[in-house]
Amino acid sequence: MKKHPQHLRHDLDLDIGTIRRIFRTAGEMKKKTYREAATKALRNKSLAMIFAKPSTRTRVSFEVGMTQLGGHALYLGPTDLQLSRGETIADTARVLSRYVDGIMARVFSQDDIEALAQNAAVPVINGLSDTYHPCQALTDIYTILEKRGTLKNLTICFIGDGDNNVANSLLLLSARLGIRMIVAAPKEYTTSKQILALARNIARGTGASLRLTTDPNEAVKQADVIYTDVWVSMGKSNAEARKKAFSPYQVNGKLLARAPSHALLMHCLPAHRGEEITDEAIDGPRSIVFDQAENRLHVQKAILLELLHTH
């Protein structure tokens, strides 16, 4: 057992070489012959999956991914662990490390991910926290690479809640990979100063550019990819105030008409149709939303192979 396992707590944990290798492996994972060849890659390996929040894509993609790689995944819901009765995160991490080969956690606080990683003797994967969603961002950039063939001269325009976990992770990963990103959000819901400073510091060394605006119509004019997410993330309050503030930021046919004709449309799902996105947009010819959702499986299999295979 490695003394210091490789974790994926957030978007800065993996070096660029590892990220590019994950993208290559994900591409191989989509090929039938490679999928069949990889069925024993994680044989006799187990992944503990801690869920403090409900999930569709994260649970199914990780569970199916482990199965397809010959391993086993254990679903541990909010009432399945002694965490609900006061056992500490640290003790939970230490105990699970004696049983399993990796821990994936979908939680509220990023502090819980950090505590798991600090105390686990096995790799810890952030399946989502209120601050970051690294598996989603890796999947998103992989999907863009798959569709465009390159990440060069790429501009991603994120419309809506600029302070949510997906926007944060996309900003950091874009900064690391030299991608231009524009966040169009109301001032009170724009990217936090901490995340922006972190991303801009990285961008200085990679040639990425990061811009904030309150004007979605102007922002999409340069977009190669238009991205949106729910206006009220899990755990966020003041839903009605948010819906009112975000109503001019709906991704619909009118907004898409202002973007270049080649611009692709993404959403990490679940979508609240009629709020942040319309049926016309999500079901239209520009949408790659469901390809993006499928790729969670392939990218996460690549992540599991990278972190668990050699552990």
| pLDDT tens-place string over residues 266-295 | 999 999 999 999 999 999 999 999 999 999
What amino acid positions are annotated as catalytic residues?
106, 133, 136, 229, 268, 296
pLDDT along the chain (311 residues), means of 10: 82 98 96 81 97 93 96 90 74 96 96 96 97 98 98 98 97 98 97 97 97 98 97 81 96 98 98 98 98 98 92 57
Please state which CATH class domain 16-133+295-308 belongs to: alpha beta
CA distance 16 to 22: 10
pLDDT at res. 237:
73
In contact, 210 and 171? CB cutoff 8 Å: yes
Q: Which residues of 112-146 are buried (b: 16+ CB within 10 A; e: fewer)?
A: bbbbbbebbebbbbbbbbbbbbbbbbbbbbbbbbb
pLDDT at res. 1:
45
| H/E stretch holding 212 | strand 210-213
pLDDT at res. 149:
97
**Superfamily per CATH, domain 136-292:** Aspartate/ornithine carbamoyltransferase (3.40.50.1370)
* Percent composition of the chain: helix, strand, coil (DSSP 3-state, to 5): 50, 15, 35
Phi, psi of 175 (to 5 degrees): -60, -40
Give me the residue spans of the domains in the chain.
16-133+295-308, 136-292
CA distance 225 to 291: 14
Phi, psi of 57 (to 5 degrees): -65, -45
Q: Is 216 left (phi over 0), alpha (psi -120 to 50) or beta?
A: alpha
Which residues, in sequence order, are CB contacts of 8 under 8 Å at separation 6+?
14, 123, 124, 125, 126, 134, 135, 303, 307
CA distance 50 to 53: 9
- Which residue do the tokens 């790689």 mark? 69
Q: What is the pTM of this model?
A: 0.96
pLDDT at res. 82:
67
In contact, 191 and 168? CB cutoff 8 Å: yes
